[in-house]
Amino acid sequence: MEEKLYGNLGEKETELELANRTLARQAAEESIVLLKNDGALPICPGKLALYGMGARKTVKGGLGSGSVEERYSVTIEEGLRNAGYEITTRAWLDDYDREYEETYQAYVAMVEEQIKGMTNPMEIIPKAHSYVYRYPSGRMIADEDIETSDTESCVYVLMRQAGEGNDRRLEPGDYLLTDIERDHLTKVGAAYKHTIVVINIGGGVDMSFVEEIPGIDAVVNYVQGGEEGGNALANLLSGKVNFSGKLASTVMQHYEDVPFGEGFSYMNGDLDNEYYHEGIYVGYRYYDSFQKEVRYPFGYGLSYTTFQMKCLEAALEGDEIRLSVCVTNTGNQYAGREVVQVYASAPQGKLAKEYQSLAGFAKTKLLAPGESEVVSIQFDVSRMASYAEETAAWILEQGDYIIRVGNSSRNTEPAAVIRLEGDIVTQQCANQCTPVDRLETFAPLKAGSNGAESSWDIPVLLLDDTAVAAQTVDYREPEFIETEEEKAILDRLGPDKWAEFLRGGDLQNPPEGTLEISGAGGKTTTALLADGIRNVVMSDGPAGINIANKVKYMGGGKFAVAVIPERYNWGMMKAYAARMIPAGGKIVYRYATAWPVEMLLAQSWNLELLEEIGKGTAKEMEAFGITLWLAPGMNIHRNPLGGRNFEYYSEDPLLSGLCAAAVTRGVQSTEGLGTVIKHFACNDAEDNRNHSSSNVSERALREIHLRGFEYAVKESQPHGVMSSYNMINHVYTPNSHDLLTNILRCEWGYQGLVMTDWGSCNASAADAVQCAPAGNDLVMPGAAEEAEEIRNAMHEGKISETCVRKSAARVLRIMLKARTESVQQDRNKRSGDNA
């Protein structure tokens, strides 16, 4: 059988590219948030002034392993021009291009000097990317620019870039505006009748300018819109499409409002420790509980129309709360979609509680003016439970739970009261991942009531404690039941070869017969090819399939990179890679879709849309020979300076978890393909991520930082979970039995594969030998030395054969289910041999 190329020989756009491009544009349109509009929008196509570093250098997504090498991306300028706008400030934009090129070349020269003499690409890449390029602000906008623009309308694009390996800085040019940016905004705010500011940033930025600088009429939170972001924005600004996105993280007044923000990452003077003193009070849980004014609340977003929301019915059926909410478009011109958000306020008991937490949500269909829709939202009462460290139990404390319905955390109405006459334990656990450091006892000085008032005309529903089935966790690890095929293979191979499953495939000079998808992220073991065990390939994410877009097929299953990937954009690295590109061969094209980043997708609040994106990604995985997609990313937006916030959904664990579950369902609707949710857990800061300990209370860990993973696991059973680089309470996550076995497998019932992040078992970090006993099956990217260490430990009795076999079986199951032809051919071959 001819070797499958996993890609396209022709350079022409494929039907899959075109279909996914349409979906990517729809996703951006549904996710971009309108934060302010004093009559400036919509704006009809015509002459338009355009300024700002993101106008032409629009950032589609963040840097690092989550980047994508798509065929093309539409900038904001291109999108506006495509929609019929005439950009009349091209002279300013041309000058910016020249300034960018000069500063970028100086930056590259500096990096080249820093990596001079290095020869190992695996060392060059992280070293090079540790130096952050700061885009210039551009020259001052002159009176002549304004006069010749010949328009009353201006769009200014405020942009920042960030990525893996570095947290952002509380400095001008990063979180803070530069002086020249403030001068720009002051100038255009005064000069133009309508000034629209577009925020092209995958994280936070100081937005005090909105109120401090006169003349800013509209603000749009564009985030990072993927390959079709420019077209999507133009459709929204023109009114062709209505805004329907809602914030997935709070925009606070000032950085100083972030609880314990002065101690985040590099700012605390101790990169070896990250202290989570804020406890459960993250994001809106803090701002709402402490009654802090915010600039734009969680769940907030404007539209060109208006809506009315009314809860028609609230019912309690067993342990499930059901709400019916009627939403009406009360405008007279624009169709639109609204997001119904349900929050629960728990009573203050022995445990201090946040004022409210998200309990459910739904997005309406597109409603014409005057049209109504009744949406249904249901959720289990266990979503309202809190974790009591003293008794190691999830409990619903007695009292009144107020169910609130609205369209942001600061705009809700009470809809029902759930009354408990006694405490209810929903799950009895044992203490896990307990801290050893002293952490602040942090709660409002006066923990007020949850707002229950007897005068409300809302139903009071009595929860019968017999309706909630309390669970007591059995911490004996669930048995992994091997299939007959898995058992036969493992019996044939024997214990010494089981150890090979526990590490990734060879990076340098992979053996003959390896399934090699050049430019992908990694692969399972290639040490067992002679035994009839083919490997499978993984790709990074989560903004799309991160794979080299052009490769050469040299025949005999051999591929080589044909074009140097964007992530190797350094002179020395390019020169090294160019020497490795052989002559001849056929060019194979692998253009992946650059989806909007997760931070933006969460703002859609549309789980059906995210599931469709998962399905679109699965089609590309199948086309490119990818079995596991290392995505979605699920860490919490704990601080706006987090370097990878763009890769994560939200400050809220429920929204994060349900978004990840939706994408996973979409990917895994294609049998044999799977997601690997990451980074498990508390990888909320990037500086010194390999050696930093996230020191967090057990309650905050469970209620905030693990909860989203729990929802994703229980809702979708992803094929993989990736342990993070960092330690939790001074234990490396790949070596944490509490985290990977007791919580993940015993408490949540997870049956799938756990793998390390890349290189997390290098010297002075996690121990590869202790991974499998902890519940981490696969060490990535993998080396023969790691398998040898595991084998020796097994011979010395430090690891049991049973433990190694269980991890080997989990890896083998992924390999046998894979859709890649090399695996299927191998299975056919084995079937023939057995016959």
Residue-wise pLDDT tens digits, 756-805? 999 999 867 899 999 999 999 999 998 899 999 999 999 999 999 999 99
Residue-wise pLDDT tens digits, 383-428? 999 999 999 999 999 999 999 999 999 999 999 999 999 999 999 9
Tell me the three state secondary structure of residue 176: strand
Identity at 809, one-letter amino acid code? A
Omega before 444 within 30 of 0, i.e. cis: no
Query: What is the DSSP annotation of 398-446?
Result: SEEEEEEEEEETTEEEEEEEEEESS-EEEEE----S---S-------SS
Give the model's pLDDT for residue 53. 97
Alpha-helical segments (H) within 226-294: 229-238, 284-289
Query: What is the DSSP annotation of 574-592?
Result: HHHHHHH--SS-EEEE-PP
Tokens in use for 288?
Answer: 């709402």
Are 608 and 254 in contact by the 8 Å Cβ rule? The answer is no
Determine the Cα angle at 130 with ends 126 and 134, to 5°: 135
Tell me the three state secondary structure of residue 125: helix
- What are the contacts of 508-514 at 24+ separation with CB within 8 A? 512/557, 513/557, 513/822, 514/557
Closest to 233 in 3D by CA, of 51, 22, 77, 20: 77
Give the model's pLDDT for residue 578. 60
Q: Exposure of 256 by Cβ count < 10 A (0-12 exposed, 13-18 middle, 19+ buried)? A: exposed
Give the model's pLDDT for residue 288. 97
Tell me the three state secondary structure of residue 784: helix
Q: Cα(153)–Cα(664) distance, rounded to whole angstroms?
A: 42
Q: Cα(157)–Cα(135) distance, rounded to whole angstroms?
A: 13
Selected catalytic residue, list 684, 757, 777, 826 = 757
Tell me the three state secondary structure of residue 633: strand
Strand partners, 454: none
Name the DSSP class of 739: I
Handedness of CA 435, 436, 442, 448 (dihedral sign): positive
Whole-number Cα distances in Å, 690 to 187, 364, 592, 736, 761: 45, 43, 30, 15, 9
Give the model's pLDDT for residue 574. 59
Give the model's pLDDT for residue 513. 84
Q: Cα(430)–Cα(427) distance, rounded to whole angstroms?
A: 10
Q: Cα(584)–Cα(580) distance, rounded to whole angstroms?
A: 13
**Secondary structure element (H or E) that encloses residue 571, with its range:** helix 571-580
Are 574 and 629 in contact by the 8 Å Cβ rule? The answer is no
Give the model's pLDDT for residue 828. 42
Q: Cα(512)–Cα(501) distance, rounded to whole angstroms?
A: 18
366 alpha-carbon distance from chain centroid: 27
822 — phi, psi (to 5°)? -60, -35
Query: What is the DSSP annotation of 325-389?
Result: EEEEE--SS--B--EEEEEEEPPPSSS---S-EEEEEEE--PBPTT-EEEEEEEEEGGGG-EEET
Tell me the three state secondary structure of residue 834: helix
**Secondary structure element (H or E) that encloses residue 107, with its range:** helix 90-114
Residue-wise pLDDT tens digits, 217-275? 999 999 999 999 999 999 999 999 999 999 999 999 999 999 999 999 999 889 999 99
Tokens in use for 408?
Answer: 């942001």
Give the model's pLDDT for residue 152. 97
Residues in the chain predicted with pLDDT less than 50, given as ranges, are 1, 823-835
Tell me the three state secondary structure of residue 24: helix
Is 757 catalytic? The answer is: yes
Q: In the sheet that 86-87 helps form, which strands lie side by side, from edge to edge?
A: 33-37, 218-221, 194-200, 153-159, 47-51, 86-87
Identity at 480, one-letter amino acid code? F
Q: Enumerate residues 6+ apart whose C-beta is below 8 A from 171.
A: none
Are 325 and 372 in contact by the 8 Å Cβ rule? The answer is no
